[in-house]
Structure 1
Amino acid sequence: MRQTRDSEAAAAALSADELAVPAPRGLGTVLTVLFAAASGALAANLYYAQPLVALIGADTGLPVSAESSLVTLAQIGYAVGLVLLVPLGDVLENRRLILATMAANVVALAGLAFAPGLALLFTAMLAVGITSTAAQMIVPLAANLAPAEERGAVVGNVMSGLLLGILLARPLSSFLAEFVGWRGVFGLSAGVIAALGLAALFLLPERRPEGTRGYGALIASLGRLFVNQPVLRRRALYHAAMFAAFSLFWTATPILLLREPYGFSPGGVALFTLAGVLGVLAAPIAGRMADRGYTRAGTAVAIGTAVLAFGLALFGESSLAALVAAGILIDLGVQANLVLGQREIYQLDDTIRSRLNAVYMTTFFLGGALGSALTSPVLEAFGWQGICLIGIAMPATALAYFLVVDRPA
């Protein structure tokens, strides 16, 4: 009888523990690799279409003038998911939310691969963008599971995988499309996400957040967070300037390389974009710097690196070496600043990390959209020098504010 009562008490204690937010206990190598791989594969979905729009348009009868709308639609979907889905991580059990969103992503990718006409093509592309935000549910979960003293390093490691997915997506889709076509690219991505989702089913731990507010109040709180959290607001705007410069560079550079005097083929442009892959090295280094108290110095170096990158890019019309160096530096600076910013905002309130991440990501994603939108008109009106001057001005403005106004108390 005594043994039975002890067992019942242990079971009751276990049930109570399951309802509480688990104490941070670290991720371990296997879980860190899974988080990094899943984040990278999900984020890559947004960028596969960029070098494939001409192939997709020719195959589906999409007018040339509307081909870029496919990429825009994926970006709009991602922004919608950041606002409407990612905050749910503060009120719903995280494991179930991530698995459900990844399953929906597989369905959306399969729909895109087999889309028979334009209506389903556009619908599936929008759905791919929305559901790819599962990557931004994984990052806050990693931060919540990590001990405070290791949080920067853990986030940096996971972000390395996410950023590697982003940086490899364009060259990878260009190469794969030559063998399996554009539909095969998205079909293969569906298979990869499905395999990672299956692994997550067995390896992903549960996390039940303490939040209990309704969905409407949850979404409405995002704007208030931006207004009432100065650290979040400043870090988001710093990175919006950085990501605008990043998008400006990587949208304009392929156009420059396809023209004379370079005259690159699409395959040559794909090889050039591999230069940016080195930027992934910045994420774990930046995370460890933040853990050791060097966030301010790291931020100044990261933003300054982007300014230097565009200074070198001024010589890019006649020097391929200058373009390669600029591509490496802009990616190093942007990825470092991203991780440093996330480390800062995750320190604000551990009960609302999903919403903090949603506001942070949405703000700088809009900055990236602005950079992309400026590229064609600026390039046509003011040439490559105009691109570089705007690219210098954006991070330089952020750096000046950071150094002069945003001083530690």
Structure 2
Amino acid sequence: MILKRADILLMAFCTAIIVANIYYCQPLVILVAKEFHISETYAGRITYLTQIGYAIGLFLLVPLGDMFERKKQILIISAFAVLSLLLAAFSKSFLLLEIASVLIGATSIVPQLILPLTANLSTDENRGHNIGIVMSGLLVGILASRAISGSIGFWLGWRAMYFIAAGMGILLIALMAKRFPVSLPSFKGTYKQLISSMFGYIKTQPVLREASIVNFLAFALLSGFWTTMVLFLANPPFNYQTLEIGLFGIAGAAGALAAPLVGKLSGGSNPRQNLMIGFIMQLLSLLLFYFTGSHIYLFVIGIILIDIGQQAIHVTNQTRIYTLVPEARNRLNTVFMSVSFIGASTGSALGLWLWSMGGWALFCYGMTGITMLNMLIYKIYGKKIFTN
């Protein structure tokens, strides 16, 4: 079947709700630290543990989308996500919350099954645009999750957010069971052969290697920012609470609006040029973050720029890899997104370390270095890859 616009919008909606599970924890770090009587930096571990779990789920579960019927897989994994959210809500120790965070990440990989499904059921002409729409849903989910969890955490406590997320997950399972299309598998071998084939694609596909490395660094920057900004805003001169911190996610939602446009541009003759646009916007955002001081409007503009820049990089790279080996889109996406979220967890941990060592200024210096490294890698690969 060929997807209709209503199908694309439904997939974008489901993607938004599910991916939010990974990011609810970020504005809640302060509340978690208070309840378990630990430092805010230590409580921040749940942010990158969730991302590590996501990377594990990507590597072990997403490839199965090429081996089994995707709709059934989506429903089963979503059910385990609900159970993981409930485990977090009932956690009586920080250790149990850490374990639940890993499980939440590992079972919230459904968007990375929806994206290849979208690519498979789209025409060549509409693939980039459709992926961009679903990616808009993903970005809206990521950014809105912070505003929602910050508000709910402020009014009802951090546990309430996990209970509510579990309830939404149950409703979503019913909706997907009724409306999602059936998608037949394309791989006939064993699970071992399935996993082994991914390493073959890493070796033979230079575009996949470049896209993955670039995304590793871009996700490190973005995740490092969204983790560390909670501590920046919670301390002087702002002293914001979780309600106010969460609302900054709304500013980042402007970046999500750029996804369909980037998706269209990524189908052009040289989509790589979008990557440099993304790097420049990220550098501008870091410049604004550095000079924020007490001028919160500079911070807000920086949030908009960093998320639009991330969209330019991520949607472009994801569209590029989906054109490489159509029958292996889940496996290509597994490599691409596993590396991306290892980058995200690395960036969160690095951001917390930079903050503890030198505050916001050192964080800005460190993340500028990451972006400059990304630009260097782009230039090196540009000598090998001209048009992909």
Cα distance in 1 between the residues matched to 2:86 and 2:360: 39
Bigger RCO (CA 8 Å, 6+ sep) = 2
Q: Which amino acid aligns with 1:245?
A: L
Q: Which residue of 2 aligns with 1:114?
A: 90
Q: Which moved more, 1:156-165 or 1:174-183?
A: 174-183
Label 1:333 to 1:76 Cα distance change in 2 as closer, same or farther (>3 A): same
Confirm or deny that 1:220 pairs with 2:196: yes
Query: Deviation at 1:318?
Result: 4.3
Confirm or deny that 1:306 pairs with 2:289: no
Cα distance in 1 between the residues matched to 2:34 and 2:240: 21
Kindly indicate whether the alpha-carbon contact (under 8 Å) linking 2:47 and 2:227 is maintained by their aligned counterparts in 1. Answer: no
Query: Deviation at 1:263?
Result: 2.9
Task: State the TM-score, normalized to the length of structure 1.
Answer: 0.87
Cα distance in 2 between the residues matched to 1:314 and 1:69: 24
The structure whose Rg is larger is 1
Q: Which moved more, 1:295-304 or 1:324-333?
A: 295-304
Q: Which residue of 2 aligns with 1:82?
A: 58
TM-superposition CA deviations, 1:367-407 (whole Å, max 9, x none): 22222122233234344332222222222222233245414
Confirm or deny that 1:244 pairs with 2:220: yes
Q: Which moved more, 1:263-272 or 1:90-99?
A: 263-272
Q: Which residue of 1 aligns with 2:237?
A: 261
Q: Which residue of 1 aligns with 2:319?
A: 343
Matches within 5 A, 1:7-18: none
Determine which of 396, 400, 409 is the counterpart of 2:372: 396
Ranges in structure 2 where 5+ consecutive residues have no aligned partner: none
Determine which of 341, 347, 355 is the counterpart of 1:379: 355
Cα distance in 2 between the residues matched to 1:98 and 1:342: 20
Identity of aligned residues (%): 34
Determine which of 238, 250, 263 is the counterpart of 1:287: 263
Cα distance in 2 between the residues matched to 1:30 and 1:387: 42
Q: Which amino acid aligns with 2:348?
A: S
Label 1:343 to 1:364 Cα distance change in 2 as closer, same or farther (>3 A): same
Q: Which residue of 2 aligns with 1:406?
A: 382
Cα distance in 1 between the residues matched to 2:203 and 2:295: 44
Determine which of 343, 365, 368 is the counterpart of 2:344: 368
Q: Which SS does the other structure have where 2:382 is aligned?
A: coil
Query: Deviation at 1:68?
Result: 2.9
Cα distance in 1 between the residues matched to 2:166 and 2:77: 13
Cα distance in 2 between the residues matched to 1:177 and 1:133: 24
Q: Which SS does the other structure have where 2:125 is aligned?
A: helix
Q: Which residue of 1 aligns with 2:17?
A: 41
Label 1:67 to 1:94 Cα distance change in 2 as closer, same or farther (>3 A): same
Cα distance in 1 between the residues matched to 2:80 and 2:208: 30
Cα distance in 1 between the residues matched to 2:304 and 2:173: 32
Q: Which SS does the other structure have where 2:327 is aligned?
A: coil
Cα distance in 2 between the residues matched to 1:291 and 1:278: 22
Q: Which residue of 1 aligns with 2:209?
A: 233
Ranges in structure 1 where 5+ consecutive residues have no aligned partner: 1-24
Determine which of 231, 249, 259 is the counterpart of 1:273: 249
Confirm or deny that 1:157 pairs with 2:133: yes
Q: Which residue of 1 aligns with 2:48?
A: 72
Cα distance in 2 between the residues matched to 1:62 and 1:127: 23
Query: Deviation at 1:260?
Result: 2.3
Cα distance in 2 between the residues matched to 1:278 and 1:355: 30
Cα distance in 2 between the residues matched to 1:240 and 1:374: 13
TM-superposition CA deviations, 1:250-306 (whole Å, max 9, x none): 223232222222333333222233211111012111001112435122222122211
Q: Which SS does the other structure have where 1:133 is aligned?
A: coil
Query: Deviation at 1:319?
Result: 2.9
Cα distance in 1 between the residues matched to 2:377 and 2:87: 46
Query: Deviation at 1:241?
Result: 1.5
Kindly indicate whether the alpha-carbon contact (under 8 Å) linking 1:309 and 1:329 is maintained by their aligned counterparts in 2. Answer: yes
What's the Cα RMSD here? Answer: 2.2
Q: Which SS does the other structure have where 1:153 is aligned?
A: helix
Kindly indicate whether the alpha-carbon contact (under 8 Å) linking 2:136 and 2:257 is maintained by their aligned counterparts in 1. Answer: yes
Kindly indicate whether the alpha-carbon contact (under 8 Å) linking 1:317 and 1:384 is maintained by their aligned counterparts in 2. Answer: no
Q: Which amino acid aligns with 1:172?
A: I
Q: Which residue of 2 aligns with 1:127?
A: 103
Label 1:208 to 1:229 Cα distance change in 2 as closer, same or farther (>3 A): same
